[in-house]
Amino acid sequence: MPSAETSPVSVLDAKRLFAEWKAAPAVVLAVSGGPDSMALMWLAARWRHALKTGPRLLAITVDHGLRKEAAREARDVKELARALGIEHRTLRWRGEKPKTGLPAAARDARYRLLLRAASSHGASHVFTAHTRDDQAETVIMRLSRGSGIAGLAAMARQSDRGGVVLARPFLDVPKARLIATLTKAGIAFADDPTNHDPRFTRPRLRALMPVLAAEGADARGLARLASRLARANTALEVMTDGAERYLASINGAASGSFDLAAFTALSDEIRVRLLMRAIDRVGHEGPAELGKVEALLQAMDRATAGKKPGGGVQLKQTLAGALISIQNQRIHIGPAPRRGRRMAGLP
C-alpha cells in the first residue's frame, strides 16, 4: 500500500480537513470510543488549539444501553477529552429496544440525541468520523439492497438535519490513516465486538471488502463511484426541479396534479422522481420505495398507452399513504384515506 494510504494524519492535514468549519460557533464531536472517532477528537482538538479563534468543541458519547462495556468506553472518552481540554457529555438511549432492526433503531436514536444536543448547546454542526472505508461499505450495502442512484451516492460530506449540519470531515480519509494517527500518538481505543458480529448485515459485508479489493473494487474505487453518482444525482435533482416548474407553468395554480401528456413526454428517471416527490409530500406512511414508484409508473403507462383521451378514471392506486389517480387527462396525487378508519356514514 502506498504511504498516502497509511500515513498518520498530521496537524497540517487536519487543518486542511477541518478548514471549512473554522467560522462555526460550536461543533459537537460524535465520539464512540472506537478508533475513528477517537482520532476525530484528537485531531479536532489539535486543529482548534492551533487557531486563535474557532468553534467551541463539545464531545458527546451515546451509551445505547446495549453492552456492559459501553459505560467504561464512555469514561475513557471523557478522560481523553479532559486531557485535550474538550467538554464531554455522555447521553443515554432510554427508549424501548426493538427485537429486530436493532442497529438501525440504535442509529436513529443516536442521531436524534446528537442533533438535539447540538441544538441545545448552540452548535451548528455535528461531526462524525465516517471514513472512506465506511463509505465503501455503504455503497456495497446499498448495492445489495438494489438502491438507485441517490442511494448509491451513499453518505454526503455535509447534510442539513433540521437546522444542524451533519458533517463527515474524514469521508475521503482511509481508516488505516486514523489508526496510524492514534498509534503514533499512543492513544488507546475501544474495539466494539458488534462491528464483527455476523448476525448483522454490515459486519458480514465488511468481511467481504478484502475479497472485493483483491478483484480491484477497493475502498478508493467504491468511494469514487459514490461521489460520481452524487454528482449525477445532484444534476438529476436540478432537472427534476425544472420539470416541476414546467408542469406547474402549464398547470395553472393546481398543485398535486399534472397534465398527463406533458408528464408522459418526460424521461422515466425524471418521472419517477416527480412521482416520488409528489407522493412524499402528501403520503402519510413514510417515504415511497423506489421499486414501488417504478411499478406505479409502469402501471400508469399501461393504463394510458394507446388510449384515446377520455373523461373516465384510467387508474386509481394508493402508495405510501398517497392516492394516485388518472382522470380527465390529468394525474392527481393526494393523501389516501387512512386505513382502519370508518368513513362517516358507512357501516
Ligand X SMILES: Nc1ncnc2c1ncn2[C@@H]1O[C@H](COP(=O)(O)OP(=O)(O)OP(=O)(O)O)[C@@H](O)[C@H]1O
Q: What are the binding residues for ATP?
A: 32-37
Q: What are phi and psi of 86, to 5 degrees?
A: -115, 140
Answer for which of 88, 110, 177, 206 binds ligand X (CB under 6 A) is 110
Answer for which of 9, 37, 321, 322 binds ligand X (CB under 6 A) is 37
Residue 96 Cβ, how far from ligand X at the closest point, in Å?
18
Distance CA 239, CA 232 (A): 11
- Per the annotation, binding residues are 32-37
Answer for which of 130, 142, 177, 271 binds ligand X (CB under 6 A) is 130
Residue nearer to ligand X on the CB measure, 36 or 76 = 36
Residue 107 Cβ, how far from ligand X at the closest point, in Å?
8
Cβ–Cβ under 8 Å, residues 41 and 31 = yes
Residue 195 Cβ, how far from ligand X at the closest point, in Å?
5
Answer for which of 54, 57, 88, 128 binds ligand X (CB under 6 A) is 128
**Which pairs with CB-CB distance under 8 Å and at least 24 residues apart come from 159-163?**
161/111, 161/115, 161/126, 162/115, 163/119
**Which residues, numbered 145-164, are part of the site for ligand X (CB under 6 A)?**
none
- Asked if 244 is part of the footprint of ligand X (rule: CB under 6 A), the reply reads no
Q: Which of these segments, 49-57, 128-136, 226-234, 242-250, binds ligand X (CB under 6 A)?
A: 128-136
Q: Which of these segments, 50-58, 127-135, 217-225, 332-340, binds ligand X (CB under 6 A)?
A: 127-135
Cα–Cα–Cα angle for 159, 161, 166, rounded to 5 degrees: 50
Residue 240 Cβ, how far from ligand X at the closest point, in Å?
30
Of residues 231, 230, 300, 237, the one with CA closest to residue 263: 300
Sheet holding 87-92, edge to edge: 87-92, 56-63, 26-30, 125-127, 164-167, 158-161
Residue 142 Cβ, how far from ligand X at the closest point, in Å?
15
Binding residues for ligand X, how many (CB under 6 A)? Answer: 17
Task: Give the residue nearest to ligand X (CB).
Answer: 34
- Asked if 34 is part of the footprint of ligand X (rule: CB under 6 A), the reply reads yes
DSSP string, 95-117: SPPPSSSHHHHHHHHHHHHHHHH
Q: Which residues pair with 318 in a beta bridge?
A: 323
User: Cell numbers 445489495 correspond to what residue?
Assistant: 144
Contacts with ligand X by CB under 6 A lie at 30-32, 34-37, 60-62, 110, 128-130, 134, 192, 195
